[in-house]
Amino acid sequence: MNKDVIYIEPEQDITDILANIKASKHKIIALVPPKKAGVLRSAVNFKLIAKTARQNEKTVVLITTDESLHRLANSVAMPTAKSLQSKPQLPDDDDAMEFGDDDDTIEEPVAPKPKAVPVAQAVKVTPKKPAEDDVIEGEPEPEEEKEPKTKNEKNLAKMKGTKIPNIKKYRKFIIIGAVALVVIIMFSLWANLIAPAAKISVKVHTTAQNFTEKVTFVSDESKADPKAGVFFIEQKTVTKKAEGDFPATGEVDKGTKASGKVTIVRPKGEKIDKSHQNFSIPKGATFTIGGKEFVVTEGGSANVGEKYHCDGSLDGQSTCATTEDISSGGISVVAKENGDAYNVAAASSGISSSISIPNNYKVSSTAMAGGSSKIVKVVSKEDVESASSNLNTGDEAKNVREELTNEFGKEYILLGNMEQSEPKITTSPALNEEVGDNITPKIVKEVTYTMFAVNREQVKTYINEVVTANLGDDTQEVYDTGVDKAFFEAFQNSKDDSSAKLKATTKTGPRVTDEMIREKALGRKTGEVQSILKSIKGVSSVKIDTSYFFVTTVPEDTNRVEINIENEE
């Protein structure tokens, strides 16, 4: 049996397709759409094609692999095939008929032309008659047809009265119902698993008490014991330096000192005591010669030795007399100051001394020589003191204290006042050193500041330990150790005693813990939880806030329950 193959071009409209179907000379027509056929995306167009095929006693088979086109073809009971060589099928696979025998296939023309109707081999199609009550709304009743004469014409006649259910009509309700179901499920999960949350706020009455205890400090952390009040003390140090220039006004004689010798002679016949036979001149003694003062650099003595005579036995006499002059020899002396003014001539009289010399002793000196003067500019003590006072440090100590306080941070409690070292002053040139020409002396002043502190956690541990021990009742507990405002008083930092008084204000009250509240609240109604918690002695108020109005039970999930315990005096 012969059949036509109609190729639909992209630019064709539905009227062109219907005209080609009417113009076809064969009962079987293979309709081949392009990949993008907008004209076949309408269910109305498929109805027109089906109606035109029935009116012209022809069977149209849609050749495509597009599933959307398959569904539209099925909606009007149009047979479909995936290719010109495959067997076509109706919507019900069981009733699908072969498009043709193996030797009766549709041959694809080599070069189809627009609006042309190529002739191919005929195929056999046995359409299925749909149920009479599944009719598409708005579709006109088929016209009365002649009695079919062939098998294919009989099958085609059965298809003309087929009623097809319109799924599209109910699609909106199906989608709305599915979305509503999903929303209900999601809301149920959210309302029961995610939304429920509660915040339980409990206020308890507490009592404030003053805390004062003496504590000690150690610089070795391994020896610290916070529970016993032995704290590890930490320190921070900073050195501030100020420098500047200053003029040198001091003058020093850098010349040489005159020197010579002095001789003392004990005269012949002088009576001497046996215990004072030697006459000594100590080092450092002074002699005044020619109005200038000289200092003994090496001591000397006038040793009597055997040069004396005693009346009677030496052991029996208390005094003896010298038999000749006794000389001390030359005693070295040097001028007290530099200068050629100390170059004095030799003298045999008019010499005085800082030591007691009998008047009958003879004192003489050699000429004093070698003294010279050289006045040079030096850095004097007065220069250094003046330059140091002129170094402006301003509010240095205040700024350093703030700097060290920030370094420790809020987690530390400061101890006592900041310690400040004595200024270390250095000059260049150094004190009493000569200042050369075109040299401007410089001064550097260094001060070291030290601050001590103790970590608050140590203090908190100690206060909690002491106050808890003093409570003596396991129904009471410490609500506030007062460590945030704690401070040390009378701090002493010495090797033998490093201590201070720790002062704070603590708050104690009934033992109400997060664990206790969770145990009594999880999974219970909010009203029941309020009654249970208010019955605890010392609890003044209970407030339960839930996440949403419909949440009336405290969740059993501890992560979804927030507990806030506040104390009031």
Strands (E) in 290-374, as ranges, are: 292-296, 300-303, 308-309, 319-322, 326-327, 331-335, 352-353, 362-365
Q: In whole angstroms, what is the distance from residue 211 CA to residue 461 CA?
A: 14
Final residue in a domain of this structure, among 450, 470, 505: 450
In a domain, 23, yes or no: yes
How many of the other CB atoms lie within 10 Å of CB of 321? 13
pLDDT, tens digit only, all 569 positions of the chain: 577 888 888 888 888 889 888 888 888 888 888 877 777 878 888 888 999 988 988 889 988 888 888 888 888 889 998 888 888 887 654 433 334 433 334 343 333 444 443 433 433 434 444 433 333 333 444 444 444 455 565 565 555 555 556 666 677 778 888 888 888 888 777 766 666 889 999 988 888 899 999 999 999 999 999 999 999 999 999 998 888 999 988 888 888 999 999 988 888 777 766 555 566 788 899 999 999 999 999 877 766 555 555 554 444 445 677 777 778 788 899 999 999 999 999 998 888 988 888 788 889 999 999 999 888 889 999 989 888 888 876 688 888 999 999 999 999 999 988 888 888 999 999 988 888 888 999 999 999 999 999 999 999 999 999 999 988 777 788 889 999 999 999 998 887 779 999 999 999 888 888 888 988 889 899 999 989 998 888 888 899 998 888 888 898 888 889 999 887 76
Residues 158 and 128: beta-carbon distance below 8 Å: yes
In a domain, 293, yes or no: yes
In a domain, 531, yes or no: no
Residues 510 and 476: beta-carbon distance below 8 Å: yes
Which residue from 129, 125, 142, 57 is spatially nearest to 92, judged by alpha carbons? 129
Judgement on whether residues 360 and 291 belong to the same structural domain of the protein: yes
Distance from the first to the final alpha carbon of the chain: 107
Q: By three-state DSSP, how is residue 383 classified? A: helix
Q: In whole angstroms, what is the distance from residue 302 CA to residue 326 CA?
A: 6
Which residue from 236, 212, 229 is spatially nearest to 499, judged by alpha carbons? 229
In a domain, 90, yes or no: yes
Judgement on whether residues 266 and 331 belong to the same structural domain of the protein: yes
pTM of the shown model: 0.45
Q: Where are the alpha helices (DSSP H) in 288-380?
A: none
Q: In whole angstroms, what is the distance from residue 426 CA to residue 440 CA?
A: 14
Judgement on whether residues 175 and 321 belong to the same structural domain of the protein: no
Judgement on whether residues 67 and 174 belong to the same structural domain of the protein: no
Interior angle at CA 157, CA 154 and CA 161, nearest 5:
150
Question: What total of structural domains would you count in the chain?
Answer: 4
Final residue in a domain of this structure, among 163, 179, 209: 163
In a domain, 230, yes or no: no
Judgement on whether residues 362 and 383 belong to the same structural domain of the protein: no
Sign of CA dihedral 173, 178, 181, 186: negative
In a domain, 457, yes or no: no
Using the CB atoms, write b or e for 487-514: b if 16+ within 10 Å.
Answer: ebeebebeeeebbbebebebbbbbbbee
Beta-bridge mates of residue 239: 448
Q: By three-state DSSP, how is residue 560 classified? A: helix
> DSSP character for 557?
-
User: Which position has the token pair 């498929």?
Assistant: 46
Judgement on whether residues 19 and 84 belong to the same structural domain of the protein: yes
Rounded alpha-carbon distances, angstroms, from residue 409 to 404, 406, 448? 9, 5, 20
In a domain, 555, yes or no: no
Judgement on whether residues 185 and 54 belong to the same structural domain of the protein: no
Strands (E) in 298-342, as ranges, are: 300-303, 308-309, 319-322, 326-327, 331-335
Residues 38 and 66: beta-carbon distance below 8 Å: no
Computed over its alpha carbons, how large is the radius of gyration of the chain?
Answer: 63
Judgement on whether residues 140 and 10 belong to the same structural domain of the protein: yes
Rounded alpha-carbon distances, angstroms, from residue 250 to 382, 384, 385, 431? 8, 10, 12, 10
Residues 145 and 51: beta-carbon distance below 8 Å: no
Judgement on whether residues 86 and 111 belong to the same structural domain of the protein: yes
How many of the other CB atoms lie within 10 Å of CB of 453? 22
Rounded alpha-carbon distances, angstroms, from residue 363 to 78, 205, 351, 354? 160, 102, 7, 13
Q: By three-state DSSP, how is residue 126 classified? A: coil
Judgement on whether residues 58 and 180 belong to the same structural domain of the protein: no
* pLDDT of res. 427: 92
Judgement on whether residues 366 and 409 belong to the same structural domain of the protein: no
What are the DSSP calls for 167-207, one per residue?
A: HHHHHHHHHHHHHHHHHHHHHHHIIIIIS--EEEEEEEE-E
Query: Phi/psi at 393 (nearest 5 deg)?
Result: -100, -15
Residues 238 and 327: beta-carbon distance below 8 Å: no
* pLDDT of res. 453: 95
How many of the other CB atoms lie within 10 Å of CB of 428? 13
* pLDDT of res. 356: 82
| The two structure tokens encoding residue 89 | 């099928």
In a domain, 567, yes or no: no
Can the peptide bond before residue 429 be classed as cis, meaning omega within 30 degrees of 0?
A: yes
Residues 30 and 78: beta-carbon distance below 8 Å: no
Which residue from 470, 426, 422, 431 is spatially nearest to 444, judged by alpha carbons? 426
Query: Phi/psi at 100 (nearest 5 deg)?
Result: 175, 165
* pLDDT of res. 200: 93
- 190: left (phi > 0), else alpha (psi -120 to 50), else beta? alpha
Q: Where are the alpha helices (DSSP H) in 409-477?
A: 456-471
Sign of CA dihedral 397, 400, 404, 410: positive
Helix axis angle, 43-55 to 67-75, nearest 10°: 50
Judgement on whether residues 300 and 429 belong to the same structural domain of the protein: no
Q: By three-state DSSP, how is residue 478 classified? A: strand
Q: In whole angstroms, what is the distance from residue 102 CA to residue 124 CA?
A: 11
Q: Where are the alpha helices (DSSP H) in 56-122?
A: 67-75
Q: In whole angstroms, what is the distance from residue 242 CA to residue 268 CA?
A: 71
Domain that holds residue 181: 170-194
* pLDDT of res. 278: 62
Final residue in a domain of this structure, among 373, 403, 435: 373
